[in-house]
């Protein structure tokens, strides 16, 4: 029965369908975030917060590492004058209140923006149960169908009946 269950697991695995709902939901939000230039003032609390979270660690001084960790997803720009990160994240929190928080720091909001990229396509089976259970059920049904056919085929008369011979 285990062999049959493994066989059905392989068959059912091929019948799963892709669910892109979450990926599609976040796509315009990712595009909006990626299209904004978020300016961070050098030597500001936000600057050091980002260095600690995405840079070389506690007290790290490598802005290049921050850029590498956010490249292509969040456009961070280091500036000498006042930055705009607080106004950018305030606007984002007004547009997407379930994702961004205007009261949170720069690192927390950048981390939220990076989480948008963690949404992946989910593969679901159309049977409403996990794949292992569906495979076991299909294997059991196939086995029962086989046994039913075996039983009926073993009771087929090999000799013509008296009634058939009279014709």
- Given a cut of 80, whether residue 158 has pLDDT beyond it is no
> Whole-number mean pLDDT of the chain?
84
pTM over 0.75: no
- Given a cut of 80, whether residue 39 has pLDDT beyond it is yes
Distances (CA, A) of 73 to 25, 38, 113, 131, 165: 16, 12, 8, 34, 84
Specify the pLDDT at position 154.
Answer: 58
- Given a cut of 80, whether residue 58 has pLDDT beyond it is no
Overall average pLDDT of the 83-94 stretch: 94
Quick one: DSSP state of residue 99? T
State how far the Cα of 82 lies from the Cα of 47, in Å rounded to an integer. 11
State how far the Cα of 128 lies from the Cα of 133, in Å rounded to an integer. 10
122, β-bridge pairs? 19
Percent of the chain topping pLDDT 90: 46
Name every residue whose Cβ is closer than 8 Å to that of residue 46 and which is 6 or more positions away in sequence: 40, 83, 85, 86, 105, 106, 107
Question: For residue range 19-37, what is the model confidence (pLDDT) as tens digits?
Answer: 889 999 999 999 999 999 9
Overall average pLDDT of the 44-57 stretch: 87
Question: For residue range 104-156, what is the model confidence (pLDDT) as tens digits?
Answer: 999 999 999 999 999 888 777 676 667 788 888 888 888 888 887 655 555 55
Specify the pLDDT at position 13.
Answer: 72
């Amino acid at each position: 029965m285990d062999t049959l269950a493994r066989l059905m697991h392989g068959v059912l695995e091929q019948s799963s369908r892709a669910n892109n709902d979450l990926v599609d939901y976040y796509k315009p939000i990712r595009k909006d975030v990626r299209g904004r230039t978020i300016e961070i003032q050098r030597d500001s609390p936000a600057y050091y917060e980002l260095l600690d979270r995405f840079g070389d660690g506690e007290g790290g001084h490598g802005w290049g590492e921050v850029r590498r960790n956010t490249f292509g997803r969040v456009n961070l720009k280091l500036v000498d004058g006042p930055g705009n990160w607080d106004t950018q994240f305030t606007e984002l929190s007004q547009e997407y209140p379930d994702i961004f928080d205007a009261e949170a720091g720069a690192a927390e909001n950048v981390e939220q923006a990076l989480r948008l990229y963690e949404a992946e396509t989910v593969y679901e089976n159309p049977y409403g149960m996990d794949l292992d259970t569906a495979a076991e059920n299909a294997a059991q049904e196939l086995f029962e169908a086989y046994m039913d056919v075996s039983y009926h085929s073993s009771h087929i008369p090999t000799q013509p009946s008296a009634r058939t011979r009279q014709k």
